[in-house]
Amino acid sequence: MQQRSYARWLAPVVGGALLLSSGACGDNNVVNAVVLTATSITVSTGDGQVGLVGQPLAQPIVVHVLDQNGASLANAVVTWTVAFGGGSVSAATSQTDLNGNASINWTMGPAAGADSLRGAIANGASVTVSATAHTVQITSATGDITIPVNNFRTLLGTLNANVAGEQAGGRREINWDGVPAAFTNNDLLPGNFFNVNSPRGVVFTTPGSAFRISDNGYVDVNANYAGEFNFFSRAKLFTARGSTVTDVQFFVAGSNTPALVTGFGSVFADVGLETSTTIEYFDAAGHLLATVKAPRRSDAAGLSFVGAVFESPIVARVRITSGNTPIDATVDDNVSAGGNRDIVVMDDFIYGEPHAAK
Ligand SMILES: [Ca+2]
Ligand SMILES: [Ca+2]
């Protein structure tokens, strides 16, 4: 009786299929050839992102391709077609890796609204991924910030009174200067002061321990701060304690109804490092819409301003990171001495009228 020996091997072939063969040496060849083909495609990650017009999305689009046996298929070709919105992709096709994943970078089109992208495999099966593009105007200034701040105000509209209820349009402001003595130069300012005591539709939270209003540039916290933190409006300034992060959540003024604004900006005092001070903007679903940096101080006054305005009310929350080190009785800013410890505090907040989230 003749013994057969079988050899098996996998050979990649052009077109994304694999040839699986078994055969025998000698006279009695038995060959079973099964071509593995791209059969189905699904979206792994990257669907439903929010981005800015003309900008690449933060995350690549990743799809997963299976063969007819339901196994991940390497070297399959995925063809990308912008279906709506006029954006672009970093390549017309991409190939799956050993895990069956293919990815592409997707840049949003020129208009605010929905964008969609199709990824297809050779048999015509396809997936459609969606994204939403927003337009944003960023105002960034240091030195004499008066004109840029006024331009930012103009983008948002007229100043509304500090009253409860949703106004038709316009803007709100907080300059801290009217905060009563009971909440000044101590750690007692309630996070909801500007939605309850003086209704302006914002509630503050922080991973730190408290908020502090100062009318003396925080020299009562640390005498070494003398001359570091100047003001833009009048003397009172704002900062968190125990953290450089302040989250600002928007509500219809004086209510618990979550709200959205078109934009938000802040004046900062003593931004010493180019990367220490940012505002991040989030939509109601928690998507990061944009991150802006406050520029490093450029003159003796030491003020900076940064703000962003979107095409419609889409901002549910902003996260302010003011410097990299919180104020503290025993910690000094050392940037002017060549160090990297940058303490930054805030003056005026300027933002769009909070509109009830639909
Ligand atoms: Ca002030
Ligand atoms: Ca500083």
CA distance 336 to 333: 8
Ligand with an atom nearest the CA of residue 343: 2
**Amino acid at the residue 36:** L
| Per-residue pLDDT at 33 | 77
Q: Is residue 1 part of a domain?
A: no
CA distance 90 to 280: 26
**Does residue 151 sit in the same domain as residue 162?**
yes
pLDDT digits (tens, 9 = 90+) for 103-132: 999 999 999 999 999 999 999 999 999 999
Question: Rounded mean pLDDT of 174-192?
Answer: 98
Ligand with an atom nearest the CA of residue 322: 2
**Does residue 308 sit in the same domain as residue 180?**
yes
**Does residue 178 sit in the same domain as residue 69?**
no
| Per-residue pLDDT at 255 | 98
pLDDT digits (tens, 9 = 90+) for 62-113: 999 999 999 999 999 999 999 999 999 999 999 999 999 999 999 999 999 9
Which CATH number fits the domain that encloses residue 215?
2.60.120
- As separate numbers, helices (DSSP H) first and strands (DSSP E) second, the chain gives 1, 27
CA distance 46 to 98: 20
Domain of residue 30, residue span: 6-36
**First-to-last C-alpha distance (Å) of the chain:** 80
Tell me which of 113, 134, 155 is where a domain ends: 134
| Per-residue pLDDT at 31 | 64
CA distance 222 to 316: 35
| Per-residue pLDDT at 15 | 44
Ligand 1 centroid to Cα of residue 252, in Å, is 24
DSSP state of 257: -
Calculate what percentage of the chain has a pLDDT beyond 90. Answer: 90
Tell me which of 64, 99, 134 is where a domain ends: 134
Give residue 29's pLDDT band: very low, low, confident or very high (50, 70, 90).
low
Q: Across all residues in the chain, what is the average pLDDT?
A: 93
Closest residue by Cα to residue 288 from 327, 329, 316, 322: 316
Ligand with an atom nearest the CA of residue 231: 1
CB atoms within 10 A of CB 341: 16
**Does residue 98 sit in the same domain as residue 115?**
yes
Please tell me the total count of domains within the chain. 3
Closest residue by Cα to residue 280 from 262, 264, 303: 264
**Amino acid at the residue 334:** N
Ligand with an atom nearest the CA of residue 228: 2
Residue 287, pLDDT > 80, answer: yes
**Does residue 217 sit in the same domain as residue 317?**
yes
CA atoms within 13 A on the CB side of 183: 21
Ligand with an atom nearest the CA of residue 229: 2
Ligand 2 centroid to Cα of residue 299, in Å, is 13
Ligand 2 centroid to Cα of residue 281, in Å, is 23
In the beta sheet, which residues pair with residue 132?
50, 114
Q: Which residue has the higher pLDDT, 2 or 192?
A: 192
Ligand 2 centroid to Cα of residue 193, in Å, is 26
What is the model's pTM? 0.86
**Does residue 128 sit in the same domain as residue 191?**
no
Mention every residue, 6+ apart, whose C-beta is less than 8 A from residue 47.
Answer: 61, 129, 130, 131
Quick check: helix, strand or coil at residue 25? coil
Residue 7, pLDDT > 50, answer: no
If you search the block for the tokens 């940037």, which residue do you land on?
335
CA distance 348 to 145: 12
Residue 59, pLDDT > 90, answer: yes
62-94 residues labelled b (16+ CB within 10 A) or e (exposed): bbbbbbeeeeebbbbbbebebeebebebeeeeb
Question: Rounded mean pLDDT of 258-284?
Answer: 98
CA distance 238 to 328: 14
Ligand 2 centroid to Cα of residue 231, in Å, is 14
Which CATH number fits the domain that encloses residue 62?
2.60.40.10
CB contact at 8 A, 305 and 347: no
CA distance 208 to 246: 9
Ligand with an atom nearest the CA of residue 267: 1
E strand or H helix at 154? helix 146-156
**Does residue 156 sit in the same domain as residue 256?**
yes
Ligand 2 centroid to Cα of residue 305, in Å, is 14
**Does residue 212 sit in the same domain as residue 334?**
yes
**Does residue 203 sit in the same domain as residue 307?**
yes
| Per-residue pLDDT at 28 | 56
**Does residue 14 sit in the same domain as residue 47?**
no
**Does residue 167 sit in the same domain as residue 268?**
yes
**Does residue 116 sit in the same domain as residue 193?**
no
